[in-house]
Amino acid sequence: MKAPTRGYWCECWTQDIRGRELPTLKASFDAYSAPQADRWIAVALRTISPALDPDASHEAWEWLHNGRINTRRALLRAQSCTVSITQAHTRITWTIRPVTFLPLADRQGAPLPACAHEFAPRSEN
């Protein structure tokens, strides 16, 4: 069995700041290094920045130019990080948390129980 692996759990949440709705999870990502974790946010911000209003675009580029290094340093100290921008009435928040990934049981090389062969894929009509 493999040993647990250190890494980072990354999430992207959105919330309409006008209402009382709870934030909605839009994406998640498992990263195995601090550079991989903060790169996930950087790629997202660079991708969406052309569609953002001027204030949100400024927030995005401020983090890309000045805040990213602080995020990386915090991650290397095993601290959680949050990056948020607000576009119109929507707040987009990325979170990164240090985690320990537990290995899943590996069934390769182990025979499946007899009942496993009784199941057939459903036909779609």
| Residue type for position 84 | S
Query: When comparing pLDDT for 3 and 32, which is higher?
Result: 32
Query: When comparing pLDDT for 83 and 108, which is higher?
Result: 83
pLDDT tens for 14-25 read 999 998 889 999
Q: Report, as an integer, the average pLDDT of 60-82.
A: 95
> What does the block give as tokens for 72?
């990386």
Q: Report, as an integer, the average pLDDT of 29-40.
A: 94
At 21 the pLDDT is 85
Q: Going by C-beta distance under 8 Å and a sequence separation of 6 or more, which residues neighbour residue 54?
A: none
What's the pTM?
Answer: 0.78
